[in-house]
Amino acid sequence: MMQSDDPVKDVFNIRKLEISDKDKGFIELLRQLTVCDSVSDEKFKERFQEIEKYGDDHRICVIEDVRSGKIVATGSVFIEKKFVRNCGKAGHIEDVVVDSSTRGMQLGKRIVEYLAHHAHSMGCYKVILDCTQENTPFYEKCGFKKKEIQMVKYFV
Amino acid sequence: MMQSDDPVKDVFNIRKLEISDKDKGFIELLRQLTVCDSVSDEKFKERFQEIEKYGDDHRICVIEDVRSGKIVATGSVFIEKKFVRNCGKAGHIEDVVVDSSTRGMQLGKRIVEYLAHHAHSMGCYKVILDCTQENTPFYEKCGFKKKEIQMVKYFV
């Protein structure tokens, strides 16, 4: 691998989710975000392939610590096709999380920038996300502005 | 058509978007929500088919006034496949609008209930949406609760 001028970038490699990432701590990382039970290899593969079918319309990215081979950050974006905005597209960022041991190294910012760039490259007129009040300063640093209220209805 | 006990339900028929709805005022209705230029028949058809490809994972519903043949309400939901929540799914409601001439007849509530029901039937553990502060009482009546802050980055 070519070394860049930035040693952090050499250590933390950002890329698309791969099926082998299940064995690199991907599920354990998601558990730092929300409820995420153990997933069987079969179930993981099935869901991976379901998402894969959407091609560039659903991108999950990860950052791997190349020293440890562990996934230390992730986030996803999917592209919604609309009729409004002259048949425009909107990117939806979901499930961004950085491992607690690697916070403060701008990995979250790299994830969000990667996902926003992907949405832009797919022709989206905007990219949106929902976050807690405490996380709004972080997303403001990533170029986002507060807009509306997220509302939820749980079925379980 | 069998008449129900509810004359409003007989007049306002809720169903999936059909390609012929372009000629029934669907685009003009969306214009009451946000920027929505005139769309050529070809472009409409192309986008319709792109969304159709997602099958039940992207549902756009409309309410037609059977007296006038006009589309008077619409909304969409798409199903996001996740790894969190034991490979769960989340429904995202978008682009809900009711024609200004038919407000106060619970058509918005019928749209939201239809979309939430669709998400539930698809196995979603939750359904989410973003709305203005002023619209939160309406969604509370539909069984939603305020949760987070929506943030946005525009590319155009």
Phi, psi of B14, rounded to the nearest 5 degrees: -100, 135
- A vs B, Cβ pairs < 8 A, gives 190
A38 alpha carbon, distance to own chain's centre: 20
Q: Which two tokens stand for residue B56?
A: 């039940």
Q: CA angle at residue B113 from B110 to B115, to 5 degrees?
A: 110
User: Which of A34, A85, A125 is facing B84, going by the closest CB pair?
Assistant: A34
Q: Beta-carbon neighbour count of residue A59 at 10 Å?
A: 21
Q: Which residues of A touch B47 (CB under 8 A)?
A: 81, 83, 87
Question: Tens digits of per-residue pLDDT, A112-127?
Answer: 999 999 999 999 999 9
Interface test with B, best of A31, A80, A83 (most B CBs within 10 A): A83
Question: Tens digits of per-residue pLDDT, A33-72?
Answer: 988 778 899 999 999 999 999 999 999 999 999 999 999 9
Cβ separation B150–A146 shorter than 8 A: yes
Name the pLDDT band for A9 (thresholds 50, 70, 90).
confident
Q: Which residues contact B132 (CB under 8 A, 6 or more apart)?
A: A148, A149
Q: What percent of chain A has pLDDT over 90?
A: 87
Q: How far apart are CA B84 and CA A37, in angstroms?
A: 8
Measuring CA to CA, which residue among B3, B152, B120, B72 is closest to residue A143? B152
- B14 min Cα distance to partner chain A (Å): 19
Tell me the one-letter amino acid at B39: V
Q: In this structure, are residues A128 and A120 in contact, taking their beta carbons and an 8 Å threshold?
A: no
Query: What value does the mean pLDDT of chain A take?
Result: 94
Q: In chain A, which ranges are continuous DSSP H helix?
A: 7-11, 26-30, 41-52, 84-87, 107-121, 136-141
Tell me the one-letter amino acid at A82: K
Q: Which two tokens stand for residue A37?
A: 């039970």
Q: Beta-carbon neighbour count of residue B113 at 10 Å?
A: 14
Look at residue B2 and tell me whether its pLDDT is greater than 60.
no
Name the pLDDT band for B4 (thresholds 50, 70, 90).
low
Q: How far apart are CA A33 and CA A31, in angstroms?
A: 5
* Kind and range of the H or E run holding A46: helix A41-52
Name the residue of chain B whose CA is nearest to A133's CA.
B149
- B21 min Cα distance to partner chain A (Å): 12
Q: Which two tokens stand for residue B114?
A: 């239809």
Q: Which residues of B touch A120 (CB under 8 A)?
A: 155
Question: Tens digits of per-residue pLDDT, A92-112?
Answer: 999 999 999 998 899 999 999
- Four-residue CA torsion sign, A155, B137, B113, B60: negative
Query: What value does the mean pLDDT of chain B take?
Result: 94
Q: How far apart are CA B83 and CA A128, in angstroms?
A: 20
Name the pLDDT band for B3 (thresholds 50, 70, 90).
low
* Kind and range of the H or E run holding A84: helix A84-87
Q: What percent of chain B has pLDDT over 70?
A: 96
The CA R_g of chain B, rounded to the nearest whole Å, is 16
Tell me the one-letter amino acid at B23: D
- B61 min Cα distance to partner chain A (Å): 13
Q: What percent of chain B has pLDDT over 90?
A: 87
Q: In this structure, are residues A72 and A63 in contact, taking their beta carbons and an 8 Å threshold?
A: yes
